Amino acid sequence: IFFRAMQHPCIDTHQHLWDLKKFNVPWLDGLDAINRSFMTSDYMEATANSNVTKAVYMEVDVAADQKLKEAEHIIGLCQDDAAPTVAAVIAGNPSAPDFADFCARFRGSPYIKGIRQVLHTPEFPRGYCLSPEFQKGVQLLGDAGLSFDVCMRPSELADAAALATACPGTRFIVDHCGNADPYIVN
């Protein structure tokens, strides 16, 4: 069945690329196997036999001061007809004071489809996404027609459910199957 499916065009909905000459990606420190630039050419080589015809870029948690630069960079990549990347989910913190302005910058972009804030790092404690500021930002995404990608510790998925309940006008996407440990059953 898998091989028959590969005969049909596929869309990769979670494409990661990073250029370490342009961006600081702090979480790569200590991960020697992948602590290098991973460019479109690498992606094309890795997917050569999989019939991937289009891809949606997923932000890569660059340093906080580079998130806007990452978004602008990926829009340029989406405009390149030679690249399979046609859309993006960019990084943004819904609780940031300037989040409304950040979203307004991309409202109506044919390339930006959603926002993700990685929440499984030490600086984001349990319940962070339930603050009124965060909820207001996520509601703003729905108003702008953008989705919110959930990327948090599996033990906090109930927080994601509560956030979704508080923001019924926003589409939610659960990344990485909720980061669940595949070796734990029940």
To the nearest whole percent, how much of the chain has pLDDT over 70? 95
171 and 139 Cβ atoms separated by less than 8 Å? no
Its pTM stands at: 0.88
pLDDT tens for 114-171 read 999 998 888 888 998 999 999 999 999 999 999 999 999 888 999 999 999 999 999 9
**Full strand arrangement of the beta sheet holding 85-91:** 10-15, 52-58, 85-91, 112-116, 147-150, 172-174
The rounded distance, in Å, linking the Cα atoms of 13 and 17 is 13
Instruction: Give the E-state strand segments of 52-178 in sequence order.
Output: 52-58, 85-91, 112-116, 147-150, 172-174
Helix (H/G/I), strand (E/B), else coil: 143: helix
β-strand 147-150 against 172-174: which pairing, if any?
parallel
